[in-house]
């Protein structure tokens, strides 16, 4: 197993309106670079993506939009409702993430358009989703309702796990091993 952890520099794994094209980079360029350097499988059944916080958003978005590349995605303490975060930013309210209105506009452009776009996980998710999804958080996690709503939309393609309430949100001592186990359980030999 190879674990590749690129720094996405607060781009939300998005082809930014005003900046790098990180969704393209992760879904095609980085994969190609790594497959040239290491004996990484080209079989999508063996290629997965995971992320913590807003990285969870990016991981789920990649698997929803690129199931031919990533067949499994895990979101650990995922921040999943970016449309709502953009709405807060437009109202000059705290977003709860390391983005404000200006930085979100650099990522998405028109923040009013995010809700119905391919940047909104809830607009992308549905019973036709091809990848499988794992959502992990503790029961007190503030974004838990987002996770539960998205998992319900994905239906049987999604599983949820809850870990004991600790200082888990930043450390992932419980959720990371659980995510790796979940990702590997579908591995083909």
Q: Would you put residue 7 in left (φ > 0), alpha (ψ -120 to 50) or beta?
A: beta
Alpha-carbon distance 83 to 66, whole Å? 20
Count of Cβ atoms closer than 10 Å to residue 137 Cβ: 25
SS3 96: coil
Mean pLDDT of the chain: 90
Per-residue pLDDT at 186: 59
Which residues, 6 or more positions from 171, have their beta carbon under 8 angstroms from its beta carbon?
none
In sequence order, what DSSP letters do the residues of 50-72 get, joined into one string?
A: EEETHHHHHHHHHHHH-TTT-SE
Query: Which parts of the chain are beta strand (E)?
Result: 48-52, 72-76, 132-138, 158-163
Low-confidence ranges of the chain (pLDDT < 70): 166-171, 186-189
Whole-number percent of the chain with pLDDT over 90: 68
């Amino acid at each position: 197993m190879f674990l590749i952890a690129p720094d996405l520099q607060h781009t939300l794994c998005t082809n930014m309106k005003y900046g790098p094209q990180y969704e393209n980079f992760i879904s095609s360029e980085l994969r190609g670079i790594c497959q040239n350097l290491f004996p990484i499988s080209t079989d999508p059944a063996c290629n997965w993506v995971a992320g913590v916080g807003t990285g969870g958003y990016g991981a789920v978005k990649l698997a929803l939009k690129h199931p031919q590349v990533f067949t499994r995605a895990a979101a650990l303490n995922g921040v999943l409702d970016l449309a709502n975060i953009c709405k807060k930013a437009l109202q000059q309210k705290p977003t709860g993430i390391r983005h404000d209105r200006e930085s979100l506009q650099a990522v998405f452009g028109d923040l009013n358009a995010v809700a119905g776009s391919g940047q909104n996980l809830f607009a992308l998710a549905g019973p036709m989703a091809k990848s499988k999804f794992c959502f992990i958080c503790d029961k007190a996690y503030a974004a838990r309702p987002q996770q539960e709503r998205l998992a319900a939309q994905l239906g049987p393609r999604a599983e949820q796990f809850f870990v004991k309430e600790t200082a888990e949100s930043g450390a992932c001592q419980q959720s990371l091993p659980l995510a790796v186990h979940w990702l590997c359980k579908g591995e083909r030999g």
